[in-house]
Amino acid sequence: MIPIEFTSRQRKIIEIVQQNEPITSQEIAALLKVTRATLRPDLAILTMSGTLDARPKVGYFYSGKPDINLISQEVRGMKVKDMMSIPVVVTEDMSVYNAIVTMFLEDTSAIYVVSGGSLVGVISRKDFLKNAIGTIDINKVPVAMIMTRMPNIATTSPEEDVLTAASKIVEHEVDSLPVVEKTIVDGKQKLKVVGKISKSNITKLFVELCKE
């Protein structure tokens, strides 16, 4: 992400808005002794960068958050498919014990359960811990008995923007979301798991953007 360097006129516009907000484009043009048409590109850059906020029939305000807004724009422009990782998928008849082993070998926070190639459930570390210290025989009980089932699973799609996916992770208080594609089989909608997006993915993206 390349930092924006404002021109002298753009810096003057910022100063004028700070001192006179709210102020219209016509009033800014009058103070600078130029036409509104001349100012139009400058005002567009300042509002798109987040430095100024434009409100219809009111005028311009100084927001002073260009870096935050630029990061927001960068994230909104990214799709889940651009940063999703490989999911860990098991069938619903796998034993809880084998699923626990799989989770630790794959070093993942969630395992997605499928039946007939379609997403039917998800199991988290918390689910495993809760059942492992209980009275069930984890060698015999299938994961289908302890998983969270559809439709009580938040999902995302490859074409969804990353910010929306991150908001779902926060809203549902989960570590990751399965990335699914909808298909129709025998007249019924199926959800094929094609990836996952997690808190780790989001954190790595945030670090990379801040470094840039």
The secondary structure of the chain in percent helix, strand, coil, rounded to multiples of 5, reads: 45, 25, 30
| Domain 80-211, CATH homologous superfamily name and number | CBS-domain (3.10.580.10)
Tell me: the pLDDT tens digits for 70-97?
A: 566 666 678 999 999 999 999 999 999 9
pLDDT > 70 in the chain, percent: 90
From residue 187, give the alpha-carbon distance in Å to each of 146, 190, 193.
Answer: 29, 9, 19
Tell me: the pLDDT tens digits for 116-148?
A: 889 999 999 888 888 777 778 889 999 999 999
Domain ranges of the chain: 8-76, 80-211
Give 206 or 99, the one with higher predicted confidence.
99
pLDDT at 157 over 90: yes
Q: How far apart are CA 209 and CA 61, in angstroms?
A: 27
**Angle CA(27)–CA(29)–CA(35) in degrees, nearest 5?**
135
Fold of 8-76: Arc Repressor Mutant, subunit A (1.10.10)
Phi then psi for residue 168, to 5 deg, are -65, -40
Tell me: the pLDDT tens digits for 53-66?
A: 888 888 899 887 65
